[in-house]
Amino acid sequence: MSNDPQVGPVQTVTAPTPPGKLKKEAKPASLWGDAFYDLRRRPMFIVSCVLIAILLVMSFWPSLFTSINPFDAKTCELATARQGPSAGHIFGRDSLGCDVYARTIFGARNSIVIGVSTTIITAIVGGLLGLLAGARGGAVDTVTSRVTEVFFAIPWILGALLISATFRDANLGIWIVVIALAVLAWPMTFRIMRAAVITARSQDFVVAARALGASQSRVMFGHLLPNAVAPVIVIATINLGGFISAEAALSFLGVGVQSPDISWGLMIADARNRFLEAPLPLVFPAVFLSITVLAFIMLGDAVRDALDPKLR
Amino acid sequence: MATKGERILEVRDLVKHFPLTQGILFKKQIGAIKAVDGVSFDLNRGETLGIVGESGCGKSTLAKVLMALERPTSGSVTINGRDIAKAKGPELKRMRRNIQMVMQDPYTSLNPRMTVGDIIGEPFDIHTEVAPKGDRRRKVQELLEVVGLNPDHINRYPHQFSGGQRQRIGIARGLALQPEIIVCDEPVSALDVSIQAQVINLLERLQNEFDLAYIFIAHDLSVVRHISDRVAVMYLGKVVELGKDTEIYDKPAHPYTQALLSAVPVPDPEGREQRERIILQGDPPSPANPPSGCRFRTRCWKAQEICAEEEPLLQIRQGTAHESACHFAETHDVVHVG
């Protein structure tokens, strides 16, 4: 090797560590471990978790929050329809004279189960297929992308009506709504995931992993997924509110949750005809719906930030 | 361990063409980008082969083919007697332990969501037979120390390091499997000059320590001169000149090499006055449709009819001691310094 005067002498960036000092900071760190450690310190995460916990308790044990059973017709009095808040009925009464507070509490289960399950199903199905299509490219990508385009071409309300009507006799209850919404909503998650994966795929660290001999699944789940999951988390938590209101639209059209069963969407749909005379029967379920959506969006935001080491 | 100077890499007639296709459903090949078109060279243990050439001449494609990240169209890349270009599955994985890569951009070559420990430890996770599980963390810390980083920083993330430090992390990852060959694809071009020197010196120290052979790809001629034992000059997918660093820099025989060297900035004002500038006309031709015969003839001031008809082979020519691919090869010192 020749010595070029332009290049300086050997320099080291950091001072060499004395032997025996290696033990410090010995606990291995990982992305998910660090993310969880970081999450526990975020007020937004704690607030959203407390809210979600309260909502979940509300959906599974609604009688803890109210002594009135809204399914019991005796608790409704037509004579008192659309009455404002009073001592025993803090949210007032709806157009059939039923207690709005009790109905809101009991409606939580259907709305939350539909919103959360649809979100989870679309995130997993759309996310995995998007990851596969983006990572593999070629024929796998072409086929799955064309299939999603078929789903995109179906107007969702028609598609959901068709699916719900087809499986009406199967007695699936609210799960019909979950299936109908999930079938029509996964392509959006798919597209977002696919685009994010394609962006990540062309980066050098993926090439480096392949040069090391990393398997396809290691590249997909170790490198591509953590770098592509952020937009999917954001869109999934935003969609959650959309699914709860979509359920209302389906109820209004006569499929999905039907009276005398209760859901927030159904309550909002019922109350909006008389909104100007009696706004409260609409406002209360709408506020609960907003709080639910907000809690999940905050959770998603906190998780997304925790998964990005640069934002910690 | 085999002796120093033993041949460990043989590249023969390596060709990589990327097909140009037309149509969406029925793809029809209408041509090919001839990124690498018949490249041959050898690499010995402990030696550094520099590869220089302007952007788009096929340097990086060559690196990808050597690393078996792209399959060559034809030709062979033989490492210790076995052809990596034809290896598959477990055999390819085993061969990868022998040839590793340091990438150009330290900002994108490290996964931003992995800790340094996970990045440097990944080779051990993939090649589980290299290090027992309990030993890996200690090995990663050793590697950090070898490349001049603080082993206590094992739990940090790449964004907490500077460019030069990141490149050291990339080098540590390349070293983890104790390869014999490291392909450095422009390892310092994304760094500023003072950091370049540190990284180059680190690479040299590691070469002496571990008896590594480097393929050093760069477009900075002075960096290549500093680190290389031999230099190959590429133009439009072909090697036009190959020889010892002193031969290439002091007695370049190919007109393209002479033109390249005349463009190197000279830091000494007196030397700057002395040297001659060869200004090439036009742009490099498209690799999809290279000129007949000699590929450099469209921009060469020596070109004659024979250059269009007959392709000059890379061979030792009259009056020169090293191989060049020019019908009118003639040594000519353009730099007049060092």
CB proximity under 8 Å: B 244-263 to A: 245-246
A277 in a structural domain? yes
pLDDT per residue over A138-149, tens digit each? 899 999 999 999
Average pLDDT over residues A273-298: 87
For residue A166, give Cα distances in angstroms to A94, A159, A171, A180.
Answer: 33, 11, 11, 10
Strand order in the sheet with B48-52: B99-102, B181-185, B213-217, B48-52, B230-235, B238-244, B323-324, B315-316
DSSP code for B284? P
Residue bearing tokens 């759309």: A126
- Measured between CB atoms, does B194 come within 8 Å of chain A? yes
* Most confident region among A21-25, A95-99, B233-237 by mean pLDDT: B233-237
pLDDT at B154: 92
When CB atoms are compared, the residue of B69, B117, B164 closest to A210 is B69
Binned at pLDDT 50, 70 and 90, residue A11 comes out as very low
Write out the two tokens for B224.
């290549």
pTM listed for this prediction: 0.82
Gap from A270 CA to chain B (nearest CA, Å): 48
Gap from A210 CA to chain B (nearest CA, Å): 7
* Most confident region among A36-45, A165-174, B262-271, B274-283 by mean pLDDT: A36-45
Q: A22 pLDDT exceeds 50?
A: no
Asked if the bond preceding A260 is cis, omega within 30° of 0, the reply is yes
Taking phi first (over 0 means left), then psi (-120 to 50 degrees means alpha), and beta for anything else, what does residue A171 get? left
Query: What ipTM was estimated for this complex?
Result: 0.86
CB contact under 8 A, A205 and B226: no
Q: A20 pLDDT exceeds 90?
A: no
Residue bearing tokens 């990572």: A135
pLDDT at B143: 94
A214 in a structural domain? yes
So where are chain B's domains? 7-21+30-324
The structural domain count of chain A equals: 1
Q: A16 pLDDT exceeds 60?
A: no
Gap from B306 CA to chain A (nearest CA, Å): 37
Q: A27 pLDDT exceeds 70?
A: no
Cα–Cα distance measured from residue B338 to residue A14, given in angstroms and rounded to the nearest whole number:
33
Out of 3.50.50.60, 3.30.70.270, 3.30.420.80, 3.40.50.300, the CATH code matching B7-21+30-324 is 3.40.50.300
Q: A9 pLDDT exceeds 80?
A: no
Pick from B175, B180, B178: which is nearest to B46 by CA? B180
Give me the residues of chain B with pLDDT under 70, please: 1-4, 335-338
DSSP code for B19? E
Show residues of chain A in contact with B122, CB under 8 Å: 209, 212, 214, 222
Domain containing residue A257: CATH number: 1.10.3720.10
Q: What is the DSSP string of B242-253?
A: EEEHHHHHHS--
A305 in a structural domain? yes
pLDDT at A70: 80
Write out the two tokens for B147.
């490349």
Q: DSSP 3-state helix, strand, coil percentages of chain B (rounded to 5)?
A: 35, 25, 45
Gap from A35 CA to chain B (nearest CA, Å): 10
In terms of Cβ atoms closer than 10 Å to its own Cβ (0-12, 13-18, 19+), residue A84 is exposed
pLDDT at B335: 66
Q: Are B77 and B83 in contact (CB under 8 A)?
A: yes
For residue A47, give Cα distances in angstroms to A22, A38, A51, A65, A269.
Answer: 39, 15, 6, 20, 30
Domain of A220?
32-70+92-311
Pick from B56, B121, B61, B62: which is nearest to B285 by CA? B56
CB contact under 8 A, A29 and B155: yes
| Higher pLDDT among residues A1 and B74, named by residue | B74
Write out the two tokens for B205.
């120290």
In terms of Cβ atoms closer than 10 Å to its own Cβ (0-12, 13-18, 19+), residue B171 is buried
In terms of Cβ atoms closer than 10 Å to its own Cβ (0-12, 13-18, 19+), residue A244 is buried
Average pLDDT over residues A14-21: 43
pLDDT at A6: 42
Q: A89 pLDDT exceeds 90?
A: no
CB contact under 8 A, B226 and A1: yes
Residue bearing tokens 């959506």: A293
Binned at pLDDT 50, 70 and 90, residue A181 comes out as very high
The residue in chain B having the minimum alpha-carbon distance to the alpha carbon of residue A225 is B113
